[in-house]
Chains A and B, each alone.
Chain A
Amino acid sequence: MHTVIVNWKLAILLFTMTLLTSGCATYSDHIRGVYLQLEQQDPVAALAELEQASGPQRDRLAYLLNRAMLLRMTADYSASNQNFEQAKILIERLDAISLREQTGALSINEGLRSYPGEPHEQVFLHLYAALNYLQLGQLDSARVEALQVNLRLQSLAENANGKAYNEDPFAHYLTAMIYEELEEWSDAMIAYRDAYQRYAASLTLVVPEFLKHDLLRLSAKMGLSDELASYQETFGIKKYLTVADLKSQGELVFILHNGLAPKKEQQGSRVVDYGTGRLVSIALPYYVTNDYHAQHASALINGQAQPLETMTNIDAVAKRTLEARIPALTARAIARAVLKDNAARRVEEEQGPLAGFFVNIVAAATEVADTRSWWSLPHDIQVLRMPLSPAVYDIRVDLHNDDTQLGTLDFKNITITAGQKTFVEQHWIKPAP
């Protein structure tokens, strides 16, 4: 009789182990194939690969965000926005706590929780949706996204995880351009100012040269003469194009989505739980910088090379956001490890060392870090914004690392229209050697 009970329990343990370990490969393992296709500069194949590996329902947000990004790489902006819209609805829904998922996350691993997106991902969703609408020529819809970015930033500022995400200046800069294009001067001025303050305060980014001109142009338009004078003095710029001057010209806004965002990987470590004094194994996520980007880019227009300026460094933003969450993630991982350790000890006491050994294996195998992310975001975003006379242009963009040329991109027949901005975008991923 005793043997029967033991066998039955072993069966349950083995069943649980099989069930759990089957889902224990990290998210990064699932998407390796997609990476390979992107390295081959083939977003269409990458999209097909991603759709094959859509993963469980709890990974849906990561799937939607990455799918939306791959769709825009293939220039299918409407489909991309449909995915972004679904992602927004999902984020709203995931704002509420699921007790079932919490139990799973606290007893097995963080990956059993539905992925709600990192704070910066929730902001970039709106920025990329806005860029999609700009490509579709739907300026009012891009404006809707600009308003939603503001709401998102406000709600992130209220919550503990979001605070770590130091509002990205690019969010403000993009919304400013949208308002200016709609001739909503005061909103544009406020957003340019917000962007400027954040660039000026940033340790890694510098104030883009064209933003200085934007501030001069808008403060003159708004009749803010003191502010205009102070900008002129700070920037050392006397001559600038007024709103009327710019109206007679067109503008090129070239946006380079450079490389891929850092990859979330897992790192195992053994830590002491101060409550029990035991040594426990935990796994935590960390970001690894991807080497798919160019350090510098410049555009050749009318025979003159114009440098692109880094508007946001998503690699740094992502790392900073995750770093702020690490203490909470560590505390939860330790609590989980102690719980599993207790279970293993109890089983060992009751069922003998073999059963205890199995539970230990299950415990170790199920302790995997949550490595889900919007990995198809770029490493950074570089922009060139310049006034040009209305005409048709051929533009060549050079990508390089210090002195090494990495590649060139050619854009033929770009039409610049008077009084309008022409948005040209390109995702670029360094080819595999």
Chain B
Amino acid sequence: MPPLMKSTHLQQTLILICLALLLSACGTVVKRVGVDEVHDLSGNWNDTDSRLVSEEMIADVLSRAWLNNYRSKHKGQPTVIVGEIRNLSHEHINLNTFTGDMERELINSGKVQFVASSNEREEVREERSDQEFHAREDTRKEMGQEIGADFMLKGSINTIVDHEGKAAIKYYQVDLTLISMADNRKVWVGQKKIKKVVKKGAFRL
């Protein structure tokens, strides 16, 4: 091989090494997508899971016998409150969005009355006591006029994870129970399961 060709190879190699070193990830790209579109990135619990589970479970709870039983004994609609939903899974799940999704489904169904949660109630009570001193009398709201809930919705999110190398199976189980406030009876028990197979890529940039 003539010396000049050899040195050309060397130059190319050096340039390639320099380029490889200098090239790093390109700029951030942002694309707006519809909120209903499903995008699974990490395989973790996401907005789609939260929405699907709440829609299905609330549709189930509203189609069961307890609602008709209540209506046959009482006038009007039952009042429901969402109690504690415990995260017993292996992921940090934003329970506020999940509870929010369920509240929205319940209220928008028009089949039940809905009362504010304990945190929200505290804030409303503070505002009401503030009105006692500062609001005009004809607009002032009285204390002791709150509607007590008839039923409380409680539940938990559990997971089982099985993994081997780069593949994992994530199994989510959401259990919800509707409890009668008057006598602690469980009037409805619902369960929704989600199974995901997550395969991680072997290579990255």
Interface residues of A (CB under 8 A from B): 5, 9, 12-13, 15-16, 19-20, 57, 85, 89, 92-100, 103-104, 107-108, 112, 140-141, 143-144, 147-148, 151, 154-155, 158, 346-347, 350-351
Contacts and interface: CB of A to CB of B under 8 A. Distances in A.
B197 interface: no
Given A155-B163, A346-B10, A350-B7, A96 B92 contact: no
B86 A103 contact: no
Contact of B163 (A12, A85, A93, A151): A151
A107 B13 CA distance: 12
Contact of B21 (A19, A85, A89, A99): A19
B96 interface: no
B20 A100 contact: yes
Contacts of B200: 92, 95-96
Contact of B205 (A95, A98, A151): A98
Contacts of B143: none
Contacts of A147: 89-90, 159
B6 interface: yes
Nearest to B87: A140
B203 A12 contact: no
**Nearest 10 CB-CB pairings of A with B:** A147-B90, A96-B204, A98-B204, A96-B201, A12-B14, A144-B92, A140-B87, A97-B203, A96-B203, A148-B90
Contact of A141 (B3, B24, B92, B203): B92
B97 to A, nearest CB: 16
B38 interface: no
A207 B148 CA distance: 53
Nearest to A351: B7
Nearest to A99: B203
Contacts of A148: 90
Contact of A15 (B18, B87, B165): B18
11 contacts: A16-B17, A57-B25, A92-B200, A94-B204, A97-B202, A100-B20, A108-B21, A147-B89, A147-B90, A158-B164, A350-B7
A12 B161 CA distance: 52
Given A104-B21, A347-B10, A350-B6, A151 B90 contact: yes
B86 A350 contact: no
Contact of B7 (A5, A15, A94, A100): A5
Contacts of A100: 20, 23, 205
B21 A154 contact: no
Interface in B99-113: none
Contacts of B21: 19-20, 104, 108, 112
Contacts of B59: none
A279 B90 CA distance: 51
Given A97-B202, A350-B10, A154 B163 contact: yes
Contact of A85 (B23, B88, B92, B205): B92
Interface string B138-161: 000000000000000000000101
Given A96-B200, A158-B165, A347-B10, 16 more contacts: A5-B4, A5-B7, A16-B18, A20-B21, A57-B24, A94-B204, A96-B202, A96-B203, A97-B203, A100-B23, A104-B20, A144-B89, A151-B161, A350-B3, A350-B7, A351-B7
Contacts of B165: 158
Contacts of B163: 151, 154-155
Contacts of A19: 18, 21
A143 B205 contact: no
B77 to A, nearest CB: 32
Contacts of A16: 14, 17-18
B3 to A, nearest CB: 6
A56 to B, nearest CB: 9
A148 B200 CA distance: 18
Nearest to B89: A144
Contact of B204 (A93, A151, A155): A93
A100 B24 CA distance: 9
Nearest to B84: A140
